[in-house]
Amino acid sequence: IDFEGHSLSLNTGDTDFRNPTTPAIVNLISAVKALKAKYGSGFVLTMAPETFFVQLGYQYYGSGPWGGQDPRA
């Protein structure tokens, strides 16, 4: 599964990370919840975004014409 770069990003206008509407994000959350339900409380799944995308993208989150993403990143 590719979680890097633009493979997993918020669609334009999807600015509420607590209630996302981007299908890839919604489906990922559902899949992680299903794995947690199947394997129990001892199940651990970790993910960490690349520092570049966090630093560059954070300043543009929720503002401007791109909403939840910076097209330069």
Active site residues: 4
Contact 69, 57 (CB under 8 A): yes
- Write out the H or E segment, with its range, that includes residue 27: helix 23-39
- The span from the CA of 25 to the CA of 31, in Å, is 10
